A = this chain, B = another copy of it.
Amino acid sequence: MGAMMKYDYWVVGAGITGMTVARVFAEQGKTVLVLDRRSHIGGNCHDEYDEYGIRVHKYGPHIFHTNSKEVWDFLGRFTEWRHYQHKVCAYVESMLLPIPINVDTINRLYDIAVTPATMAAYLASVSVKLDVVKNSRDAVIGRLGVDIYDKFFKNYTLKQWGIPAEEIHPSVCERIPIRFNRDSRYFSDQFQGIPLHGYQKMFERMAAHENIHLLLQADFKDVLGEVEYNGLVYTGPIDEYFNYRHGKLGYRSLRFVFTNYRQASFQEASVVNFPNDYEFTRTTEYRKITGQEAGSTTVSYEYPCNVGDPYYPIPTADNQNLYARYAEDAKKEGDVVFAGRLGSYRYLNMDAACLEGMRIARNLLNLHQNV
């Protein structure tokens, strides 16, 4: 008796960042312990079959999309792809209109005949001229005008964040795309799809390496000091790592209600946004994403809330200032790299998380090789 659990690297968090880091390490001959407090790997990408035999995304719809061939090829080693192109509709004035806003959205909403050639001029005629964009409402009305803001964005933003768009940093709504053509796809990246046999199978194949051990259902703090490692990649919440010494970072959470319907199809699109009606923000019909054939269909209703698993960093100045203090502390932790959505307090698409994971692992490997 006496030795600790010994690994070259310890990766905390088995989400896409952590699993990518672990796989790159393992393939370079390094031993890795991956820890997660949940009973499964894959983080919020995790999918599973529900009690009706329908594969659902347990933590809300995850559509993979990237312009990085490197990421696409890396993940493609662990899964075949279903070449799915995501579409979203918004339920507005009893119509299902394409989102992001495109030429057809405008034409169907107002029964007019804008074309790709006249779309910019049309939007210029309805948008509000502002000298300063102070908040997310400004970011929308400055590009799309007040009526579209009211019908598509005002109430959705309030549901999503629990605060009015006037109180949210302009960058949140500045990111919302507008399509000056009839492209009704939600994303326009070169590579789009979902793992043909599900995210879980993809992550299982990433994890299936003799150099990787998985410690599940365990909190980092419970086993800290009992694991020996040369490097630690921490993808858990950065404020939790530091015992909330400066206070808690704000996260918006989601509550999902899954319902199974004994019918062939539930809604026209994979995802329907409800900006104005009900308390949920959107409904997702998973079989429309996965292509699964079955006698029933499962739909999730998505309710934003403030308690529960951390999903979205809340983009307020207070939170950014608080994070900056933790980021300063993080720099002083010599053998720890903070990474991923929770470790760096930023929303990351899956491809960005994967790319960051590859970069971090390679940097650490170079670093330790040079020592």
Interface residues of A (CB under 8 A from B): 1-6, 39, 49, 51, 53, 55, 196-197, 201, 204, 207-208, 212-218, 222-223, 225-228, 292-296
Contact = CB atoms under 8 A, between A and B. Distances in A.
A213 B215 CA distance: 7
Contacts of A196: 51
B216 A214 contact: yes
Contacts of A4: 1-5, 226
B225 A3 contact: yes
B214 A39 contact: yes
B295 A39 contact: no
A3 to B, nearest CB: 5
Nearest to A5: B226
Contacts of A212: 217
Given A208-B39, A213-B217, A295-B293, A5 B223 contact: yes
Contacts of A3: 4, 225-226
5 contacts: A4-B226, A214-B216, A215-B215, A215-B216, A295-B295
B39 A293 contact: no
Nearest to A262: B293
B292 A53 contact: yes
Contacts of A207: 39, 217
A155 to B, nearest CB: 37
B213 A218 contact: yes
Nearest to A197: B51
Contacts of A216: 213-216
A1 B49 contact: no
Contact of A53 (B53, B204, B223): B53
A216 to B, nearest CB: 4
Contacts of A228: 1
A147 B288 CA distance: 56
Contacts of A215: 213-216
Contact of A295 (B55, B197, B226, B294): B294
A201 B228 CA distance: 33
Contacts of A51: 196-197, 201
A201 B216 CA distance: 16
A-B pairs, 10 with minimum CB distance: A214-B216, A213-B218, A293-B295, A51-B197, A49-B49, A5-B226, A215-B215, A3-B226, A53-B292, A214-B217
B226 A6 contact: yes
A215 B215 CA distance: 4
A90 to B, nearest CB: 30
A10 B21 CA distance: 29
A314 to B, nearest CB: 29
B5 A53 contact: no
Nearest to A214: B216
Nearest to A223: B5
Residue of A39, A51, A197 most packed against chain B (CB within 10 A): A39
A295 B215 CA distance: 37
Nearest to A6: B226
Given A1-B228, A2-B225, 17 more contacts: A4-B5, A5-B5, A6-B226, A39-B204, A39-B207, A49-B53, A49-B55, A51-B197, A53-B53, A53-B292, A207-B217, A212-B217, A213-B217, A214-B215, A215-B215, A215-B216, A293-B296
A56 to B, nearest CB: 12
B225 A1 contact: yes
Nearest to A207: B39
A214 B196 CA distance: 28
A370 B217 CA distance: 30
